[in-house]
Each structure stands twice: as C-alpha cells, then as structure tokens.
Amino acid sequence: MMMMDRPTVLSIAGSDSGGGAGIQADLAAFAYFEVIGTTAITAVTAQNPHAVTGVYPVEPAGLAAQIDAVFGGFAVAAVKTGMLFSAALIEQVAARLAQHRPRWLVVDPVMVATSGATLLRDDAVEALCSKLLPMAALITPNLPEAEALVRRPIRSAAEAEAAAVELSGRYGCWALVKGGHGRSDRAVDVLVHAGHTWRFSAPRQAAPTTHGTGCSLSAAIAAGLATGETPPESVRRAKAYVLGRLRSCQAVGPETWVMLPPCSLPLQDIEVTESRS
C-alpha cells in the first residue's frame, strides 16, 4: 500500500553557498515542518551572511528540466519561488507551472539580498508582475519589495495595509506584506484576502544576523499550506518559526552568525487580529 503521510513541497530558488538563505534555508524549513523537500535551482550564488560575491544563473532549459523531473516523480502539494534573477528564468517557471498547475504557489518576490546585492534584474520585474504573480495563491513581499510593486513609498502601518489590499486585488491572491523592515517596537505582517485583513504582530527581535528570514518565512508558509493549514494558520506558524530562528543564532566564524532551527515554536508571542472591510 502506498502511504503519503508527508506531502511534497518544491522550492524554485537560488542556492546559497553560505547555507543561510535560498534553497538551503527552504530545505531546513521543510525538514522542520516534516514535509518532503524538493528543489529546482535557478542560480548558484557565491555568498555568505555578509555579501554576495557572484551569481551564476542556470540555463532556462535546465531549470525547466528540474521542475518537470520533480513533478514527474512526486505528488507536489505546494510550490514556493524565491530568487528567480532574470526574465528568461521567470518565463520558464511560469510556463512549467502553468503546465503542472500546483494547488498552492507561494511567490516570494526576492529582489535584493539582506546584504544589499541585487537578486532580480531590472528587466525581470515586468516578467515577475505579468507572468508569475497572477499565478500565485499567496505572495510575500517585504516593505521594499512592496514599494517596488505598488510604486510608492510605504512609511506607516496603514500604508503597508493599503499596499497589501492593492496587491491582493491586482493579482487575485492572498497578499502578505511583511513588516520586518519597519521601525516600530513590534514587527507587524499584514495578510489580506477577499476583504479580510489579518495582522500578525511579534516583538521585534534583535539578532546578530537576519540573513535568510524571508526565505525561511515563505518556505514555512508553503509547508503549512501543503499540510492542509489555512493561509492565516500557515503565516502564524511561519512567523513563529522565523522568530524562533532569530532567537537561536550561533557564531560560526569571525563576526559570522547563522540562525538555527528553534527547539519549539514561540506561538504564544505571535498576536493575531482579524478585521473585515
């Protein structure tokens, strides 16, 4: 008898040689939430938590072959995308996912690394907006990425919520605008869908590194969706997972820190409020 207790999740993203972000962070989140992790690598990067020193994209045909191979051998329950780098790669991802039609597609519109390195070419933004975001079930821009997508500054919680409402309406999806780049005492993420708004608030956590937080969050959300959680449930658990990682940093070299998986999820520290417009 075939038993499928653990669903499969596919990450389409870049490889981080330092192990803290990208495919490596996604696989760590998948393992933590006990789903089967598979990958399609868009680019190999030379990086550590301090800097990205090189980006080497794969050929579009090679990326397509990876995606097709995973769908050909696994019952994929959810897909998440991270660093996609170029218009050609985005177009290939959109074409393959249109063919395979996963139930859940989480798009993390990765544009710039924590270190400041550009991870999405300028000419790829249009492809992202026209080809991939309309296919997404849930998108997870941080504040700078949301600003780029709505083409205006976001300086307050109200403006972040307005951006989430706009993006949800524009792309017909769940839109999560993350508040980690904000300056308030609490980090508030805003999730919007179909006239409902959820606010996920956590104490802002000082940490020696935040490298890989965005990748970890979107991967954890995809894992939750794959296991049958609702988007708000998945976001809450994913936010707790990232908070736990920020509290579990370890020194691994001179001035170099990495985040470790938390021993337990600090769900009690995530406050959730819901409203309807």
Per-residue pLDDT tens over the stretch 79-91: 999 999 999 999 9
Catalytic residue among 80, 131, 178, 239: 178
Q: Is 42 one of the annotated active-site residues of the chain?
A: no
The residue ranges of every structural domain in the chain are 8-178+209-232
Q: Is 169 one of the annotated active-site residues of the chain?
A: no
Catalytic residue among 18, 37, 82, 214: 214
- According to CATH, the topology of domain 8-178+209-232 is UDP-N-acetylmuramoyl-L-alanine:D-glutamate ligase (3.40.1190)
Residue 153 tokens read as 């500054």
Q: Is 178 one of the annotated active-site residues of the chain?
A: yes
Per-residue pLDDT tens over the stretch 150-199: 999 999 999 999 999 999 999 999 999 999 776 778 999 999 999 999 99
Q: Is 80 one of the annotated active-site residues of the chain?
A: no
Q: Is 214 one of the annotated active-site residues of the chain?
A: yes
Q: What is the mean pLDDT of residues 61-74?
A: 98
Residues 6+ apart with CB under 8 A from 176: 138, 139, 140, 141, 164, 189, 190, 191, 192, 221, 235
Q: Is 14 one of the annotated active-site residues of the chain?
A: no
